[in-house]
Structure 1
Amino acid sequence: MPKAIVFEVNGTLVDTNVLRARAWQEALARHGFQVRLPRVMAHLARLGDGFLSALLSEDDFLRHADELTSFHRALFHEEYRARARPFLGVTELLQRLRDEGWRVALASTAEPDELEHYIDLLGVGDLIDARTTDADVDGARLNEEIPAEALRLLGLDGTDEALMIAALPYDLEGASRLGLRGMGLVCGGYSEEDLRGAGAIDVFGTPQDLLTRYAESPLASEP
């Protein structure tokens, strides 16, 4: 079976994690909830987009969660998304993987149109074999179900022939529960300790760092 690698996009290929957290902070503030950015980042690391229940009281969550989520999506799309920039080395890394026989999938919690925006921004449309977002799955554990769907789209029955690369502990935890080995990148705003604690088998700085150190990474040791 072919080798496959699954990338999260936010914070991994495109510098969006802090932007997304700032949009959450602004959305919360506009609804009367003052939350410091480090606290937003801390909960985003573990709970993904379902993190509002950890920031709000039960009553406030029940009253405002849907409205806040919709407001955040619109705010990020209109005011923050255009600020996102690719990390260095993404195109070259994906080309190296394709040259060495890897199949590449993107598995992201981004909105479908947002993911397409990032693919265009990166200029990697011809280097991707599959792409999927939360719009393609129906469940509560998106950090497991989205990469699982990516593997299905790649034609893989299991996880033995695949690796995941992500920058959020949340996504690495999901990969681990799925039985998918994960590698972490600290460019998403979380430490090596955070990423290893979430199950990363190895940690690098940026896509460029991974490309530079390719020969010493798990990518080079795969059959």
Structure 2
Amino acid sequence: MADTAIFDVDGTLVDTNYHHALAWSRAFRRFGITRPMWRIHRGIGMGGDNFVPEVGGRDVEEQHGDELREAWAREFDQLIGEVQPFEGAYELLAEVKDRGFRLVLASSGKREHVETFLDLIGARSLADAWTTSDDVANTKPEPDLVAAALGKVGGTGGVMVGDSVYDAQAAAKLDVPVIGVRTGGFSVGELHEAGVLQVFDSLVAFRHALDGTPLARAGRSADGG
């Protein structure tokens, strides 16, 4: 049974997805490339190594990939001061920790960004570990981030909480179940189709329903078995 709760950070605990979309749009425009904002938004949740070829195209990746990622980082740095945690983020993490789970905050973002978000949530004292881009070779939808999160705490079984289909795809490659929240803008149907077990509209709704989820109690199923 699960002993580790793995929480995606961007878009799940902190409200960053539209900031990321705007930063990517501005980064593309630096190179004279325009992509519709809806298309950019649909790629948020992937790591930058996968995002550029997926949204920009293979030619754009080959010509400008690393420069685009650097430009995105500079653009996002200008927006990060506007980021806020989602309502109930701290309370949800605290309750999951109280229920006996090892708590890992999983991000493949830049270390300075991740640490900013931890401070926004007040999560440093709660988390047993967290990850950054330093911990993964390949980003979502590859499973490196999920494996790194489990490895940080010696977890034998995990449950992941995320906001995107890419979280589900990454976790599925390691047979880790996923609980979804709609904070990333994906529909309930899309998340279920990607393999998400349960979907909640908010972190607050999720916390109120914890007893009916795989995070009811560490080492036990939702029905107490």
Greater shift, 88-97 or 55-64, is seen at: 55-64
The structure richer in helix per residue is 1
Matched, 1:162 2:158: yes
**Conserved in 2, the CA contact under 8 Å of 1:162 and 1:181?**
yes
**Conserved in 1, the CA contact under 8 Å of 2:140 and 2:166?**
no
**Conserved in 1, the CA contact under 8 Å of 2:4 and 2:101?**
yes
User: How many aligned residue pairs are there?
Assistant: 218
Q: How far apart in 1 are the matches of 2:125 and 2:2?
A: 18
**Which residue number in structure 1 is paired with residue 106 of structure 2?**
107
Q: TM-score scaled by structure 1?
A: 0.90
Map Cα deviations across residues 139-158 of structure 1 (whole Å, 9 max, x no partner).
Answer: 466641111011011112x4
- Structure 2: state its 5+ residue gaps: 217-221
Describe how 1:2-81 pairs up with structure 2 within 5 A. Answer: 3-44=3-44, 47-49=46-48, 50-77=50-77, 79-81=78-80
**Conserved in 2, the CA contact under 8 Å of 1:3 and 1:103?**
yes
**Which residue number in structure 2 is paired with residue 116 of structure 1?**
115
CA spacing shift, 1:42–1:141, aligned 2, 3 Å = closer
State the AA in 1 paired with 2:154: G
Q: How far apart in 1 are the matches of 2:57 and 2:125?
A: 46
Name the Cα RMSD after superposition.
1.9
State the AA in 2 paired with 1:103: R
How high is the sequence identity, in percent, across the aligned residues?
32
Q: CA deviation at 1:167?
A: 0.5
- Structure 1: state its 5+ residue gaps: none
Q: CA deviation at 1:2?
A: 7.0
Map Cα deviations across residues 57-81 of structure 1 (whole Å, 9 max, x no partner).
Answer: 443331111111111011101x111
Map Cα deviations across residues 17-59 of structure 1 (whole Å, 9 max, x no partner).
Answer: 11101110111122211111111112335x4421211333443
Q: TM-score scaled by structure 2?
A: 0.90
